[in-house]
Amino acid sequence: MKNRLSFLLLRLWNFYTHINLYLNSLVKNIKKFKKLNIIFIKPYDYLDIYNKNFEKNHLNLLCSNYRMGPVGLFTNHNTKFVISSSYNDNDINFLKTKKKLSKIRQQELVLQKKKSKNINMINFNHYDLAISFEDTISERTISKYDKVLWFKIFEDHKKKSYKKNIIFKPKFFDGVLNQTLGFTPYSLFRRLHSIDFSYTFGNSSFLKKIKKKSHKDIDIILEVNQKKKIKNYLTKLKSKNSYPFIKKIYTLSESLSHKKYIDKISKSQFFLAVSSNSPRWGNSLIEAAICQNLIIGNRNCFWNSQLIIKQLHCTKIEKALYLVNILKKDRKLFDEYLKKQNFLLDYLNYTRPLQQIIDYSLNCNRDLNILRKIK
């Protein structure tokens, strides 16, 4: 019953989102600016993204343990990633954290602790933008540097303080990166400090930037959280010849390393996501689009479904395969749909959030470094 209500709410959510997206002129008053100098900091006990300190070397984006993360910060700007030895000026309780983890994760915790740094040694005024994983950066540190913009990003939108922070400006920080693509019902309450910035921030240049020249030899990648009956249907399909233009299908697994995940998804042409057991946030769709997969899926399975274009919204696996078969034969139509998808990706997941950050900075009563980057 609870799941049915969630899907009903999601359907209403998406009705509003896509009407709002349709009615708004997407590209307007775009301000040009130079590359930003950014620092992104996480505590060593948050293990999901990048497991080493780095800057400039884009290949380190593949060293993530689980999530792709905001890759556009690194591929398109001068961004430094730092693993902190503290959280909100307090030492992280290593033993307490270790007890909660599996053996493999414990090993990763030890490695990341060794690589962690004292962030109190950083001069934050050298940067235009500082991004803190939740409250890793303390009030004391923030109060010392007034030339940098301070934003926080949450691990999960389900955190208790998430909704409070997107409506009310968080204390000490300039704002919050709200993990949406915008135009959702949250937009009704949006304030200037809340930036429509996804956890998988980036654009269609990603594969070129990391010099990933993969031959697209996988026809279909199936989203990892699809229902068992969908997975079984595709398994049986492999032994038949119902769709002659579909040769290779790959079902994603959560056991894949991040590097192998990127390798697989960068080789695929289509990303299918038509039916999940529960509503999903939508980061997998953004990752697929960034890796230049054409998404065919059910908008009403995702809270952030803005990248599923109208022509490729479908709820049945049979229709999804029918669309794949048509688009495999019609390259011109495939390219047209991918161009539409890339337009949405580049604007909603890259240009627009940066514009919102610039707009916020123009309304700040501080001598910010970022203001010198506006052309």
Number of Cβ atoms within 10 Å of the Cβ of 354: 20
Q: What is the pLDDT of residue 165?
A: 92
Phi and psi at residue 9, in whole multiples of 5°? Answer: -60, -40
Measured distance CA(132)–CA(46) in Å, rounded: 12
CATH topology of domain 206-341: Rossmann fold (3.40.50)
User: Over the stretch 86-124, which tens digit does the pLDDT of each residue have?
Assistant: 999 999 999 999 999 999 999 999 999 999 999 999 999
Measured distance CA(373)–CA(371) in Å, rounded: 5
Give the strands of the sheet with 249-251, arranged side by side. Answer: 249-251, 218-222, 268-273, 294-297
Region for residue 89 given its phi and psi (left: phi exceeds 0; alpha: psi -120 to 50; beta: otherwise): left
Q: What is the pLDDT of residue 343?
A: 95
Q: What is the pTM of this model?
A: 0.95
Tell me the pLDDT of the chain averaged across its residues: 93
298: its two tokens: 């059910």
Which residue, among 74, 83, 81, 76, has the nearest Cα to 54 in the 3D structure? 81
Q: Give the helix/strand (H/E) hosting 104.
A: helix 103-115
Higher pLDDT among residues 73 and 254, named by residue: 73
Give the model's confidence band at 318: pLDDT under 50 very low, under 70 low, under 90 confident, else very high: very high
pLDDT of 242 strictly over 80 = no
Give the strands of the sheet with 37-43, arranged side by side. Answer: 54-55, 78-84, 37-43, 129-133, 149-153, 175-177, 194-195
User: Over the stretch 16-68, which tens digit does the pLDDT of each residue have?
Assistant: 999 999 988 776 667 778 899 999 999 999 998 999 999 887 878 888 888 89
Average confidence (pLDDT) over 352-359: 95
Mind giving me the DSSP string for 188-228? GG--TTEE---TT---TTHHHHTT------EEEEE-TTB-H
Measured distance CA(136)–CA(28) in Å, rounded: 35
pLDDT of 156 strictly over 90 = no
Give the residue extent of every domain in the chain: 34-203+347-373, 206-341
Q: Mapping DSSP to helix (H, G, I), strand (E, B) and coil, where does residue 26 land? A: coil
Measured distance CA(327)–CA(337) in Å, rounded: 9
Q: What is the pLDDT of residue 28?
A: 63
Q: Print the SS3 string covering 284-347.
A: HHHHHHHCCCEEEECHHHECCCCCCCHHHECCCHHHHHHHHHHHHHCHHHHHHHHHHHHHHHHH
In angstroms, what is the C-alpha Rg of the chain?
21
Average confidence (pLDDT) over 299-304: 97
pLDDT of 314 strictly over 80 = yes
Among 5-19, 41-55, 244-258, 322-336, the least confident range: 244-258
Give the model's confidence band at 160: pLDDT under 50 very low, under 70 low, under 90 confident, else very high: confident
Q: What is the pLDDT of residue 187?
A: 92
The CA distances from residue 250 to 137, 218, 267, 268, 290, in Å, are 41, 7, 10, 9, 18
Q: What is the pLDDT of residue 5?
A: 92
User: Over the stretch 328-343, which tens digit does the pLDDT of each residue have?
Assistant: 999 999 999 999 999 9
